[in-house]
Structure 1
Amino acid sequence: MDPVVVMDTILVVRPREVRFKWAYDRAAGTVSNTGNTWFKLLIKPGCDTTEEEGDAWYLRPGTLSARPRCANRGTTTSSITINL
């Protein structure tokens, strides 16, 4: 039996006037995209760790991401990076 490969493509178009806006609630561990464009969110266990040690995903406009790793847990430090 021959292997089958399926590829999908998603076309993403940014608005003419980009309004980049986001909110971070440390107590709840949530990051919300309140602007009109998407962005890539990268959460790492600390500032000195590599990107491979973290989690990354895209947030579309109007979405809220709740991650326990983002919540304030005493001395635990998380690094949050946002890429357009």
Structure 2
Amino acid sequence: MEPVVVMDTILVVRPREVQFKWSFDKVAGTVSNTGNTWFKLLIKPGCDSTEEEGDAWYLRPGDVVRQPALRQPGEPLSGL
């Protein structure tokens, strides 16, 4: 029995006129992509944490991410 390898490809095309829009609802803990293109949402446990310590999603137009972490307060900005 020989191993089988399957590879998939996704072609992503952006529109000519990109409308990057999103909305954040802290009470509901949601981020919505209300534009016409995709973007990457990254939720990290703190400002000094790495991307590997966080969670990431690619949101297509119309996608919504619901996460309890989005209801939590962020770290205060310092050094500004």
TM-score (norm 2): 0.87
Q: Which has the higher contact order (CA 8 A, sep 6+)?
A: 1
Unmatched 5+ residue regions in structure 1?
A: 79-84
Unmatched 5+ residue regions in structure 2?
A: 76-80
Alignment of 1:1-84 (within 5 A): 1-72=1-72, 76-77=73-74
Report the structure, 1 or 2, having the larger strand content: 1
Structure having the higher Rg? 2
The one-letter code of the counterpart of 1:27 is V
C-alpha distance in structure 1 between counterparts of 2:5 and 2:60, whole Å:
28
What percentage of aligned pairs have identical amino acids?
Answer: 75
CA RMSD in angstroms comes to 1.3
Give the Å deviation of 1:35: 0.3
Equivalent residue, structure 2, for 1:81: none
The alignment of Structure 1 onto Structure 2 pairs a total of residues equal to 75
